[in-house]
Structure 1
């Protein structure tokens, strides 16, 4: 798992939750570092903050989706500001889910379970394929 967030508190919280469930956690404090880690380490899933120093989460997500090495990695966008327009935009550019800060442990793992199968393999199918979960409609809309 890769956590990209400029808040050390959020990174520490998510990393602790994930490690307690035997996930290997990679951390990045900005989008540029996160993109490099995503490309070289191929995480199973990425938690990506929207508001970051330098490149924001939207621009980072666009780059992740354009790169053949990272385009199929599930991405959960996270933000302390959940507005309908933001959520719509997140789905339109290819995020798999959105999580508002603060979040609970139960919410984090429910979202992971929706995006990864029992073997921790992404349920996201390459480039716009239909998926078996209720996110399939959002996925198809994002791919079109």
Structure 2
């Protein structure tokens, strides 16, 4: 159901006014194969369409289980949101974010704050890297936090 709602936002004439998108759900974003017509998955194409159509999004909160999207694809899509300043992520299916993903997020030109909700979305190396990054006086890129 969540992808269907996002597709409606993309096709709506009010897309240029959307600055904050906060999606919170545990079960609405996945496709149920037992239903004859399952909802579409929240995938790379949907994220790229959202980034292209809703170009004014400054805050994006994705607090749900995105089954159809890998961390690599999410990072690729995040770079399409040119005005994005705040990002909040719950988890990406059963995949984890690696250190390279965090370094890629650091290169986003407007992103100021990234918040990972839950411990399961991050690799152990990422947690060590974030502690190291926090200890540096002048770390470049967005402020990255982990919230349990």
After TM superposition, is the score higher than 0.5?
no
Q: Which has the larger radius of gyration?
A: 2
TM-score (norm 1): 0.39
Which of the pair is proportionally richer in strand? Answer: 2
Structure ranking higher in helix proportion: 1
